[in-house]
Structure 1
């Protein structure tokens, strides 16, 4: 994860900025307070002390006395007199670095200025052309030495590390919530967040779980309604078939029978897809070969259809519900034949594999599908071309059922299409199945390929 996406780091940065701002305000406040206290209480004492040294040095200044006073009092003394300069340290003050204010401090009328020079208190007197500077050697605000600085830096690093750890711990459930919401958003509505917290984050997780409960309940209610309606529709269809057998007009009987068969297939596909999506029906898993399933589908339903088979002879076996896989393959081929512009146009059926999956792709040479419609093709009763008739466009349930079968086997369905070129539908299935509790039976070591459901 990029640092800009980390909530913990963002909170830490905000904390650091706030701390820096508070330290700046505190530093300025302390500096102003110190200067006020120093000016009112300490500065007069230092000034009187240094003026006492000034009186002992005298005017004109006695260098020997100045040297002795410097050694005894821990004060650097500098004399700037007409014709010479002298300093107890051999170094002279840089006037540009002086931070002093002019003032009268003596009854004799000696003019003086007091302030700071590089953190040290300094008093400068002006008398008869002589400038005498007295500077305390001890700094009023001493800076950190090297050891103190390294200790401060180390302590800062430790504190920041602990702070980041605490913030990361507090926000750790956010990552779990994000992953859980993504899983629920991808259709895994039975997933629930586990966040054992009683704070705002825990309440958020509980609200998301409640939302997922409501979504799952609504979807289950929709499934149950669809299953009930589909079951109820079979009774009048059966009665209609019985009544149809008594009709003498063969033409009418044929057309009505085709319509009833189409309705029966639609109901079967609806029931099958909802059973698979709702885990109502277990998969009957057996070892099978995808090529065998393709041959069986071709021989049973498309013996005279213009199919071009390109099947990989070295295709490995995989463990699936062969009947339902055959139903998916049949529907994909049927859709491709329907999509072709001419009944004589061929449909290419190819199989291949890699180390993890086996694939079957079915390609037509129809008019193609617009990209904006591809994502909706697996929705029930969705048709990209709303003007198409039932005979050419179907009921929009075929790919919905195919997707349900593929999902039940933990596979993938991909649709690639170009306008005026054609469409390729690719189904991928794992070679080693991932068995879900409650949605599969025991897997035999070997077994026959199941018959394909109608």
Structure 2
């Protein structure tokens, strides 16, 4: 069975061309110009044909009739074949003679006029011969002048190409505006849209440049606010934690439970503020990564060694993996959150969590899997949402506030990749493919 070609969006070829025509302003303008030229040509040709068929036909008929009479008189009676041959050779006409003595035709392969045309293109001589005239060999047939039609068609096509080139040049600022909007959307404000002309499109490009500078100023102000907020909130939290640690410890005559609870709450507030600030930075498409060549396998071992409860984590790290251009601190945050999540939900599991690094697709595939109870399939799509937790009661014993997986998703997106979450049965598997080269802006 023959399959129809379809593009990435599922459109067939005719649908794709219709979409392209409807999307392209150039193609629609050229179509309008072409249809306008065809309509004007059709109207002109129809009007001229109407004028010649009505007025000029009546005006030319007596002239042609008089000319036919003179030609027949020149042939003689009975018609002289020599004169007829000379006349057919000299003029672009064909002659047929029918009669009792002479039956001759100058162009045997041509069918002469009949019907209404024979009334004024045929004559009868005194001796009973009928002379019929018709079109002969046109001078430009079979000569270099026959290329006039092709030259005319070539000129028409040239005019069409010229019109397209002019429209393309006229609308070139739209390409610049589109490319500039894409750069601004990625946070690249250093290259403004070039101002090629001083018309309305040039004015639009200038206004978009002004808008981009305003957005850049707002983003810079927002970043400054985040930094100031981070400093102003962390400083009093640090002082409060220090004062809480100076309280008497357990067994020294004070209330150890209140002291431990205060320290725990202060630590959670500190982590929450850090996660919120980092998620705000990464959620913006203008987040700046400090990329450097990173040995991902060595970084996984380092993170596992620094975590108190990660000694049991199984490491399946392939040898000879290429270094990747990554933001070390943020990838470290991602690995720590994924391992901590796997350890939290592996309590009582048959096997400890496993971290795997394998070459795949020209990059490195990272997978962190636990062997716990897994997650309800209806909740998989929500695991990377901010403040989402699978336990509806949000009990403190499970730890965290629901930002860990969200931060992991943001770190992956900032590096040009995506988290994939699936039930591995048993357990939950989280994987992402680190590209060998950073995506180009």
The two structures have a TM-score, normalised by structure 1, of 0.68
Equivalent position of 2:149 in the other structure: 149
Q: Give me the whole-angstrom Cα distance separating, in 1, the residues matched to 2:360 and 2:320.
A: 11
Offset from partner CA, 1:115-164 (integer Å, 9 cap, x none): xxxxxxxx134799875423364769989943333433444454444444
Native 8 Å contact 1:413 1:428 kept in 2 = yes
Equivalent position of 1:232 in the other structure: 232
How many residues get paired?
405
Q: Give me the whole-angstrom Cα distance separating, in 1, the residues matched to 2:177 and 2:85.
A: 72
Match of 1:387 among 386, 392, 395: 392
Secondary structure (helix, strand or coil) at the match of 2:401 reads coil
Native 8 Å contact 1:333 1:362 kept in 2 = yes
Match of 2:106 among 61, 66, 89: 89
- In structure 2, the CA distance between the partners of 1:252 and 1:18, relative to structure 1 (3 Å rule), is same
Match of 1:62 among 63, 78, 82: 78
Equivalent position of 1:47 in the other structure: 65
Match of 2:421 among 412, 417, 420: 417
Gaps of at least 5 residues in structure 2 are 1-6, 8-12, 249-253
Equivalent position of 1:117 in the other structure: none
Equivalent position of 1:364 in the other structure: 370
- For 1:312-391, list aligned pairs within 5 A: 312-317=318-323, 322-338=328-344, 346-353=352-359, 357-365=363-371, 366-367=374-375, 373=381, 377=384, 381-383=386-388, 387=392, 389=394, 391=396
- In structure 2, the CA distance between the partners of 1:54 and 1:417, relative to structure 1 (3 Å rule), is same
Equivalent position of 1:124 in the other structure: 122
How far apart are 1:309 and its partner, in Å?
A: 1.0
How far apart are 1:258 and its partner, in Å?
A: 1.7
Offset from partner CA, 1:29-85 (integer Å, 9 cap, x none): 232333345324333212222134456778xx6223x7636735845443445x687
- In structure 2, the CA distance between the partners of 1:393 and 1:138, relative to structure 1 (3 Å rule), is farther
Match of 1:308 among 288, 294, 314: 314
Offset from partner CA, 1:275-302 (integer Å, 9 cap, x none): 67698998495x6533332222222214
How far apart are 1:330 and its partner, in Å?
A: 0.8
Equivalent position of 1:197 in the other structure: 196
Offset from partner CA, 1:306-344 (integer Å, 9 cap, x none): 422101233345566644432331122123334558566
Native 8 Å contact 2:363 2:433 kept in 1 = no
- In structure 2, the CA distance between the partners of 1:140 and 1:30, relative to structure 1 (3 Å rule), is farther
Equivalent position of 2:300 in the other structure: 294
Equivalent position of 1:441 in the other structure: none
Offset from partner CA, 1:156-208 (integer Å, 9 cap, x none): 454444444444444444444444444545x4363655232334443444454
- In structure 2, the CA distance between the partners of 1:146 and 1:370, relative to structure 1 (3 Å rule), is farther
Match of 2:42 among 13, 17, 24: 24
Higher relative contact order, chain-length normalized (CA < 8 Å, sep 6+): 1
Q: Give me the whole-angstrom Cα distance separating, in 1, the residues matched to 2:342 and 2:123.
A: 106
Native 8 Å contact 1:192 1:209 kept in 2 = no
Native 8 Å contact 2:78 2:125 kept in 1 = no
Native 8 Å contact 2:312 2:352 kept in 1 = yes
Equivalent position of 1:119 in the other structure: none
Secondary structure (helix, strand or coil) at the match of 1:362 reads strand
Q: Give me the whole-angstrom Cα distance separating, in 1, the residues matched to 2:134 and 2:178.
A: 65
Gaps of at least 5 residues in structure 1 are 102-111, 115-122, 437-454
The two structures have a TM-score, normalised by structure 2, of 0.70
Secondary structure (helix, strand or coil) at the match of 1:113 reads helix
Native 8 Å contact 1:230 1:271 kept in 2 = yes
- In structure 2, the CA distance between the partners of 1:230 and 1:387, relative to structure 1 (3 Å rule), is farther
Equivalent position of 1:259 in the other structure: 265
- In structure 2, the CA distance between the partners of 1:125 and 1:279, relative to structure 1 (3 Å rule), is closer
Q: Give me the whole-angstrom Cα distance separating, in 1, the residues matched to 2:137 and 2:56.
A: 15
Native 8 Å contact 1:369 1:417 kept in 2 = no
Are positions 1:100 and 2:116 aligned together?
yes
Q: Give me the whole-angstrom Cα distance separating, in 1, the residues matched to 2:137 and 2:71.
A: 17
- For 1:152-301, list aligned pairs within 5 A: 152-185=152-185, 187-188=186-187, 190=189, 193-198=192-197, 199-238=199-238, 240-241=240-241, 242=243, 246=247, 248-273=254-279, 283=290, 289-301=295-307
Structure whose residues are more often strand by fraction? 1
Q: Give me the whole-angstrom Cα distance separating, in 1, the residues matched to 2:368 and 2:227.
A: 30
Q: Give me the whole-angstrom Cα distance separating, in 1, the residues matched to 2:224 and 2:134.
A: 95
Q: Give me the whole-angstrom Cα distance separating, in 2, the residues matched to 1:67 and 1:282.
A: 100
Q: Give me the whole-angstrom Cα distance separating, in 2, the residues matched to 1:127 and 1:326.
A: 113
Structure whose residues are more often helix by fraction? 2
Alpha-carbon RMSD across the aligned residues, in angstroms, is 4.7
Equivalent position of 1:449 in the other structure: none
How far apart are 1:255 and its partner, in Å?
A: 2.9
- In structure 2, the CA distance between the partners of 1:25 and 1:246, relative to structure 1 (3 Å rule), is same
Native 8 Å contact 2:275 2:407 kept in 1 = yes
- In structure 2, the CA distance between the partners of 1:373 and 1:400, relative to structure 1 (3 Å rule), is same
